[in-house]
Amino acid sequence: MACFTSGCDTNRGNVVISEGTISYAITYPGRLEGGLLDGVLPKEMKMEFQNFRYVNTISAAGMFESKLITNCKDKTVTFTFNFGPKKIYAVMSEKTADSLLHEQFKIPTLFDVPGTEMVAGYRCNRTFAVFDELEEGPDFEIKFTDDIQIKQPNWCNQFSDLDAVLLEYELKQYGLRLKLRANTIEAGSIQDSSFEIPTGFKLVSIEEMVYQFEEVFKNFQ
């Protein structure tokens, strides 16, 4: 049987792993509850990782499923989006990802926070994300660990200064504020097919992909 752990970090007591699955709970801070679409908002994200690559999957009550397949060695990102009969995907290079990042997100300044906190059984370091303007988003705390062995996992997001896996963080995108917090971390084999584009999906431009996301998520605001 293959081993996916590479020892134990004696400083924090975390098991060091390079392949497995993280499940995140998704909440929506500041959003008023009671809307008709509350029941179909994504409540969980699954992150499957294998050395230099990972795939994040979210879905909403059978309405849609989206995957973000990130290759940290080749510096490429592939989006897939399945909404009813619509099955599309788009691929971004590092240059395109950087351009879209600065267009879609504001980049916070990070300040280290003393002490650690347990998240999903892992003792995490902490930092505070601070934005220049209130409209850019509320400030929030990030919990992260480098005991999950993915090199530069945040190269394509606004937390690229952290060479570590985020176990608690927030995003503001498509008019929604999302908070993600890991609740389980499991070492285990991940199939190569998890990082492949499913059959029957049509290649589209990144502009078309962003438009489709905006059309879906505007209904949740």
Domain ranges of the chain: 5-220
Smallest Cα–Cα separation from 157: which of 195, 214, 107, 91?
A: 107
Evaluate if residue 77 carries a pLDDT over 50.
yes
Maximum mean pLDDT: which of 25-29, 69-73, 175-179:
69-73
From the CB of residue 128, how many other CB atoms can be counted at a distance below 10 Å?
14
Residue with tokens 């752990």: 5
The residue ranking higher by pLDDT, 190 or 221, is 190
C-alpha to C-alpha distance for 198 and 85, rounded to whole angstroms: 14
CATH fold label, 5-220: outer membrane lipoprotein receptor (LolB), chain A (2.50.20)
- First CA to last CA across the chain, in angstroms? 47
Whether 82 shows a pLDDT value over 50: the answer reads yes
* CA atoms of 97 and 159, how far apart (whole Å): 13
pTM: predicted TM-score of the whole model, two decimal places: 0.89
- Which of 66, 70, 40 shows the shortest CA–CA distance to 166? 70
Residue of 94, 17, 74, 26 lying closest to 48 (CA atoms): 17
Supply the pLDDT for residue 116. Answer: 96
Q: In what order do the strands lie in the sheet with 19-27?
A: 109-119, 122-130, 140-145, 165-173, 176-187, 19-27, 44-50, 53-60, 64-71, 76-83, 86-92, 202-203
Two structure tokens written together for 150? 């993915």
